[in-house]
Structure 1
């Protein structure tokens, strides 16, 4: 989103996790990947400042749609809207008539002087990932901190060494030798950016369309379509 604002072009963008708690699935969600001959403050500083793509390889990001205030909406009314949809309604909730809770993307649209998808010259590329525990929980159900999720998570870490190797490097067959095939496939789909995130709004976290979460969303969309057709009738 930062690339859409030309005033930020002079800055090197980095990505760091802000650990809101001590829970391990909140740590290391975002990172910067470097390839340096030797690790030093000066070398690290220069790689960032000069945006040397041979040394500063890429950043790792969690999709911004995951945030609790990405889209506009009203949690109590079950209303979630993109900025364009909200503006058509003058940012007023169509259910209760009160002002919508405006999301981060709405502010981005107000500030942006470039179209979505613009990539500035000399920008460091990024990769979007989802925490491993949340991928696993999407398939087996329950919370990311459940015992079943962490049994699978721990097995994967023991096999491959750390979470980023699981998410970025391990092959699908290798993964499937440790966990269920659908989980292995889901990890690769996240890596290849082949999933959609249902955006968060008004204090409600976004979530990936994977496994049981995808099934839930399909049922919700079917329900919405039926309600819409009844109104039209």
Structure 2
């Protein structure tokens, strides 16, 4: 089983860590247990030059970090040699049917040459130098057409489709169907990215998504956030097999998910007024904040409810399985009563990696008695509760992350 995280960002995107370089992405993929990771930001010319300098070809369409750039770290398990696949996110802002649309798209490409060719086409349309996630005044349908013309083997995935402000189904600037967004090129869209604030069952409620593969990725802006959502693959590593898994489901075993309540747009609300609302409460207030009178930000739960043609709780046992997890440092922090970035939590986190294996192995597979022996009863109990889904959920809203409690 391979784990992949295909939607990430480099340090050339806005609001990202300075450590979002290839060396640290490779390091954290090894810590987490991620086999295939997106490069992010393939359109940025300086980043693309770094990719050419520091990566070397591995399996068809995949790359590995050259050995001389690898960070040696005694706290990192030496069990995985991560592969990189060319990836990037495009922000499209344009007008369609008398409404301003703001939609993000994830593109995966079969190699560096394809990245050069597609970037050259996009540079004719807008500025791709200032931001690793460029903003282009380009209809999503036309972006898909340019990709198909330039590199037919590319993979196009509408990104985090429910996010209120920048997504295909976003409450403020999106569409009500895939067909409305892509028109005659809809048959070339085969998968959608569910985003942190929704999980597969929420997407199953919309029958219009039945024929699309559901994939999940971290959209990480720092290496430590890698793998907070990911895909489980049963394939031999290659770009062709990855493409087949994403577009047909053959080889896509399932996904690893945030608890959707932890996503920062799950419920409705108004962050400035510290107001978190259910969809029914928003309707009762007429969509206006009862504190200040401004517009309430409509969350993912509400937007799904608007587009759903199946009842809440609908379950399709024929669909791909999924697991809800939370990052290991958050589990340790819950158990120890400290903050997850703190010294004590990070010390315990790296001790567990050193003695038990990668983060995903610890969260998913390591026997509970081994965890208890290495990390103590309370951390072991936290992981046990996580595996059982025995958590307390406090939903995020209007850009504020939710919280998941184990104790």
Do they fold alike, i.e. is TM over 0.5?
yes
Q: Distance in 1 between matches of 2:241 and 2:296?
A: 47
Comparing 98-107 with 10-19, greater Cα deviation is found at 98-107
Structure number with the bigger relative contact order (C-alpha 8 A, sep ≥ 6) is 1
Q: Where in structure 2 are the equivalents of 1:131-150 lying within 5 Å?
A: 131-150=327-346
* Residue number in structure 1 paired with 2:231: 32
TM-score, normalised relative to structure 2? 0.47
Q: CA deviation at 1:115?
A: 1.7
Bigger helix fraction? 1
SS in 1 for 2:214: coil
Match of 1:169 among 365, 368, 376: 365
- State whether structure 2 residue 214 is matched by structure 1 residue 13: yes
Bigger strand fraction? 2
Q: Distance in 2 between matches of 1:147 and 1:121?
A: 43
Structure 1 residues 102 and 49: CA distance shift in structure 2, 3 A:
closer
SS in 1 for 2:382: helix
CA-atom RMSD in angstroms: 2.0
Contact 1:51–1:122 (CA under 8 A) maintained in structure 2: no
- State whether structure 2 residue 240 is matched by structure 1 residue 42: yes
SS in 2 for 1:178: helix
Match of 1:85 among 260, 265, 281: 281
Match of 1:125 among 301, 321, 329: 321
- State whether structure 2 residue 385 is matched by structure 1 residue 184: no
Q: CA deviation at 1:199?
A: 0.4
Q: Distance in 2 between matches of 1:96 and 1:49?
A: 45
Q: CA deviation at 1:90?
A: 1.8
* Residue number in structure 1 paired with 2:4: none
Q: Distance in 1 between matches of 2:248 and 2:265?
A: 33
Q: CA deviation at 1:206?
A: 0.4
Q: CA deviation at 1:121?
A: 6.5
TM-score, normalised relative to structure 1? 0.80
Q: Distance in 1 between matches of 2:307 and 2:233?
A: 31
Q: CA deviation at 1:6?
A: 1.1
Q: Distance in 1 between matches of 2:221 and 2:382?
A: 26
Match of 1:200 among 396, 399, 407: 396
Contact 1:51–1:123 (CA under 8 A) maintained in structure 2: no
Which sections of structure 1, spanning at least 5 residues, go unmatched? Answer: 212-233
Which sections of structure 2, spanning at least 5 residues, go unmatched? Answer: 1-201
Q: Distance in 2 between matches of 1:40 and 1:76?
A: 46
Contact 2:267–2:301 (CA under 8 A) maintained in structure 1: yes
Q: Distance in 2 between matches of 1:50 and 1:27?
A: 25
SS in 2 for 1:80: strand
SS in 1 for 2:273: coil
Q: Distance in 1 between matches of 2:221 and 2:372?
A: 32
